[in-house]
Amino acid sequence: MSKDRSAKITPSSLENAALHYLERFDSSSANLRRVLMRRFHKLPDIPDEAASMVDAVVAKLVGLGYVDDRRYAQAKVGALRAKGASVRKVQAGLAAKGVDTDLIHETLADLDEQGEESEMKAAAIYARKRRLGPFRQVARAAFRDKDLAAMGRAGFGWQVAKRIIDQDDG
């Protein structure tokens, strides 16, 4: 950003930038704040009121319902679980986007009601996508330890990984 352009950063331009971002991506309030603050990073001197301008824009958009952390968390949990993400990976992903820890635990409480069944479904999806365990075509026994390690790195617990990898068929 050039110095001439920096003079044009106003609450109105920040709001326009935020709306443009939200047209393309769903976001948590903390993530939107980070995105908007990036507009100031290339400036030679960040104005003192930058954070307050960004906070005001984010608060306005939250008040209007354009940004809703609860809705964002629920949508993200659903999308990640459908892709085969473990509870640990979901927690890490939401935390990285700035979702409050209490809200993460509240959102994941629905998964806890389903118990291990939800984690088993996600693990099966992950194994199928990566062709692990029962989804492997050849030399399944030779790759058992590597498949278990891959499941562990993906955030699945030992018992869940072992049950998926040791299944007889896909």
- Residue spans of the domains in the chain: they are 3-64, 69-114, 117-165
Rounded distance, CA 17 to CA 10, Å?
A: 10
Residue 66: the pLDDT is 94
Residue 1: the pLDDT is 42
Is residue 4 over pLDDT 90? no
Q: What number is the average pLDDT over the span 38-64?
A: 83
Residues with Cβ within 8 Å of 133's Cβ and at least 6 positions away in sequence, in order, are: 127, 140, 144, 147, 164, 165, 166, 167
Other CB atoms within 10 Å distance of the CB of residue 149 = 13
Residue 116: the pLDDT is 65
Q: What is the DSSP letter of 134?
A: G
- Helices within 66-166 (DSSP H only): 69-82, 87-96, 101-114, 116-130, 144-153, 158-165
Structure-block tokens of residue 137: 């075509």
Q: What number is the average pLDDT over the span 34-48?
A: 77
Structure-block tokens of residue 36: 């908007």
Where is pLDDT greater, at 45 or 53? Answer: 53
Residue 111: the pLDDT is 67
